Structure 1
Amino acid sequence: MDFDPTEDQRLLGDSVARLLASEYSFEQRKSLLGTPTGWSERLWSRYAELGLLGLPISEEHGGFGGGPVDVMLLMQAFGRHLVLEPYLATVVLGGTALRLAGTAAQQEEILPAIAEGSLKLAVAHGERQARYDLSDVRTTATRRGEGFVLEGAKSVVLHGDCADRLVVSARTAGREDEPEGISLFLVDAEAPGLARRGYALRDGTRAAELSLSGVELPREALLGPLDGGLPIVARVVEAGIAATAAEVIGAMETMQAMTLDYLKTRQQFGRPIGDNQALQHRAAEMLVALEQGRSMAMLATMSLEEEDAAERARAISMAKVGVGQAGRFVSQNAVQLHGGIGMTEEYAVGHFFRRVMVIEHLFGDTATHLDRLADQVS
């Protein structure tokens, strides 16, 4: 896979960089956090105008027809500015589910609406008891005539409070923790029996708890094969891991630059604290960790096109561990080298730290993926 940006990617990257530089300063982001939605509808429309929302969507559905590298480059840019809009939930997670499993009619209806910015998606799979076990699903979908009735609850649905449609997993056969018997459904956010409670995560991004009580769905709401939804969920999660890994790289780049600038300008005993050799070593170690994490993020992006499911899962877990460890190291050192100011709400580095820590726990934390890798060699 070629990671050298094409001319189109460079032009798109320049447009995104200019937009975020003018619209996503730290103070502007803090203002967005104080709004009811926690993000900007106006900027969402700008993303649509630039083609960002259709980046991985095929041209026949109104998109750009880009691939994993395009998404990686964009998510790095978003990470540098701590972008709050529901791009991950709608385009990466929801869009991946539709591209992999949607019928021609479902794709024709939904994908162009995503690309033009008129429809937002969220993927509702996780449940309270499941932790990171993708096969642990208690929510049920019972047959009723030609359709289904959903009963259950979903937790930490990323941007589930603003989504227009939800991709909901439910058990249509088998026991609670069996890999087989899980199906996916497209559920309208205003469907009778669906209740949502939105809230902010520790980094300010939004999520929701869902309650499904007697939610009736037609047969056409089924997304993908009946009882065969788990492999699709796994691919969606893998796309999420690759995208957030790239986002962490962007966040680490900004923290590294902020820390170096602070070491050069902060005066103590009449000279910059960066003259201290021990702090220079810490800054160098941060750079090494950043570059190690960058390599692992590239591995995640490359692995998305691997056809062998076992090999793809192994590579994604390796990347998740590598980026998680690098992100934690760089974030902690960035805060420590800034001293007390690094922990204040008024200074940006602490906000980057929180975002990286939240990402570490999305889609399985570092310890979980280490366990999975260990199981493969034991």
Structure 2
Amino acid sequence: MDFDLTDEQRMLSDSVRRLVSDAYDDFEHRKTYRAEPRGWSDANWQKFAEMGLLGLPFAEEDGGFGGGPLETMIVLENFGRGLVVEPYLATVVLGGGLLRRAGSAAQREALIPQVAEGSLTLAFAHQERQARHDLFDVATTAKRDGAGYVLNGAKGVVLHGDSAGRLIVSARTAGNRRDRDGISLFLLDPTTPGVTRRGYATQDGLRAAEVVLENVVVPADALLGPEGGALPLIEHVVDEAQAAICAEALGAMEVLRDLTVDYLKQRTQFGQAIGNFQALQHRAADMLVATEQARSMAMYAAMMVQDQDPAARHVALSAAKALVAKLADQLGKEAVQLHGGIAVTDEYKAGHYFKRLSMLGGLFGDVDHHLRVVVAAGGLPEAS
């Protein structure tokens, strides 16, 4: 595998890093963005659109820029460095991924330009309370009713679902709750009668929502992709999201490591900087090793998410997510211990990075879940 970035990718990285640095140079700015009505800054979102970030992964014929997983990794790593609160993962990676892979020509033509220009945000309403991390466990139903469907069910932890302009909802059109077949996707206007959204702040300062659907009537053209055959699409897009999560975690780990090393150089005890003590130097070195391991796995995830074999791709992404989440947890705990009590105060940003890393580690499956996936498959796929 070639891990070298092209000149264009390096330029993208430099541009996104400058943009994030300008918007989040003062940590107080992040608190200001979180206090806005939707929990994020519309001004920042428009800057992302102007730079082309919101249209990055979409095909050029759909109004995008034709970027791939490596470009997404570059963007998310820099977003992780700034603890960006805007709904990029929810709108562009998850919602946008489903739209570009499952949407009809008419749906893509109508919605992708709106996403790319920043006027429309998306949210993927899929997770259900009983499902844990099994993507095929869907109890929400969609029953045929004349020319449309009637949706009933409840979805939880819908990332940025409280402010999204469109929801992409998974519902069962056939089969039993844990059948792999029979799952469909629907584009839903959240103002449709029968839709209830309860928004809340997650532990990392971002937003999510609980969504309840009670006899929600949608037309037939709300169907996104094939009826009853949405699970492979969902699994593919969630794998892409896992690669993006690994990249964002890497960016957050880099900053948290640097914050900790700087603190060790500044904090004095017994008349000298505590960074002079060899035991603490060893722990700082372990944080560096963890970051570099996470970097390798984030690159591996970005490469393997392009694998044409769904089974090999899924196992590889589970392996990457498991290791990055484990490394992020270890590094976060080391940072808190080495900082002492200041690390968990709301005024100091180290604790906010640890919270975000903890949240990323649990999204779409925790370490134990992904290790079970790898073990069940008999280990990683052989390199082709």
Which interval holds the TM-score relative to the shorter structure? Answer: over 0.9
Match in the other structure for 2:76: 75
Match of 1:221 in 2: 222
Question: Could you say which residue in structure 2 is the equivalent of 1:309?
Answer: 310
**Equivalent residue runs for 1:1-378 within 5 Å:** 2-24=2-24, 25-377=26-378
Can you give the 5+ residue segments of structure 1 that lack an aligned partner in the other structure? none
1:240 Cα deviation (Å)? Answer: 1.1
Give the C-alpha shift of residue 123 in structure 1. Answer: 0.5
SS in 1 for 2:157: strand
Measure how far apart 1:14 and its partner are.
Answer: 2.2
**Aligned mates of 1:4, 1:52 — CA distance in 2:** 21
Asked whether the equivalents of residues 341 and 347 of structure 1 are also in contact (C-alpha less than 8 Å), the reply is yes
CA distance in 2, matches of 1:285, 1:37: 38
Structure 1 residue 340, shift from structure 2 partner: 1.2
Letter of the structure 1 residue corresponding to residue 15 of structure 2: S
Retained in 2: the 8 A contact 1:160–1:166? Answer: yes
Partner SS state of residue 55, structure 2 = coil
The answer to whether the 8 Å contact 2:77/2:248 transfers is yes
Distance 2:260 2:34 in 1: 24
Report if the CA contact (8 A) 2:149-2:219 is conserved: yes
Moved more, 195-204 or 53-62: 53-62
Distance 1:21 1:106 in 2: 35
Contact kept, 8 Å, 1:3 with 1:69, in 2: the verdict is no
CA distance in 2: counterparts of 1:300 and 1:11, whole angstroms? 21
Give 1:207 shift. 0.4
Residue 64 of structure 1: CA displacement?
1.6
Alignment length (residue pairs): 378
Offset at residue 362 of structure 1 (A): 0.3
Kindly provide the amino acid, as one letter, of the partner of residue 176 in structure 2.
R
Q: Which runs of 5+ in 2 are unaligned?
A: 380-384
Decide whether the 8 Å contact of 2:12 with 2:74 is kept in 1. Answer: no
Q: Indicate conservation of the 8 Å contact 2:138/2:177, yes or no.
A: yes
Question: Aligned partners of 1:135 and 1:85: how far apart in 2?
Answer: 28
Deviation at 1:3, TM superposition (A): 3.5
Q: State the one-letter code of the partner of 1:251.
A: A
Letter in 1 for 2:50: E
Match of 1:6, as an amino acid? T
Describe the SS at the equivalent of 1:8: helix
Percent identical residues: 56
1:147 deviation in Å?
Answer: 1.1
> Secondary structure in 1 aligned to 2:377?
helix
Instruction: Give, in whole Å, the separation in 1 of the partners of 2:350 and 2:292.
Output: 19
Q: CA deviation at 1:345?
A: 0.7
| Greater CA drift, 169-178 or 57-66 | 57-66
After superposition, the C-alpha distances for 1:114-136 in whole angstroms (9 at most, x for unaligned) are 11101111101110111111111
Distance (Å, rounded) in 2 between the aligned partners of 1:223 and 1:86: 21
Shift of 1:30: 1.5
AA of the residue aligned to 2:341: G
Do the aligned residues in 2 keep the contact of 1:149 with 1:215 (CA within 8 Å)? yes
List per-residue Cα deviations over 1:17-58 (Å, max 9, x = no partner).
222212112111122222222110010001000111011111
Q: 287-296 or 28-37: which moved more?
A: 28-37
Task: State how far apart, in whole Å, the 1-side matches of 2:304 and 2:209 are.
Answer: 30
TM-score by length of structure 1 reads 0.98
Structure 2 counterpart SS, 1:207: strand
Question: 2: CA distance between counterparts of 1:36 and 1:108?
Answer: 29
d(CA) in 2 for partners of 1:62, 1:47: 15
CA displacement, residues 282-324 of structure 1 (integer Å, 9 cap, x when unaligned)? 0001111111111111111111111111111110110011101
SS at match of 1:377: coil
Q: State the 1:372 CA deviation.
A: 1.6
Code of the residue aligned with 2:282 in structure 1: it is: H
State the alpha-carbon separation in 2 of the partners of residues 203 and 114 from structure 1.
25
1:212-266 CA-to-partner distances (Å, cap 9, x unmatched) read 1111111111111111011111112111111011000000000111111111111
Inter-partner Cα distance in structure 1 for 2:237 and 2:162: 20
Alpha-carbon distance in structure 1 between the residues aligned to 2:366 and 2:143: 32
Structure 1 SS opposite 2:131? coil
TM-superposition CA deviations, 1:311-363 (whole Å, max 9, x none)? 11110110011101110111111111111111111111100000000111100
Aligned partner letter, 2:4? D
Moved segments of 4+, more than 3 Å: none
Offset of 1:110 from its aligned partner?
1.0
Q: Distance in 1 between matches of 2:88 and 2:374?
A: 29
TM-score calculated relative to the size of structure 2: 0.96
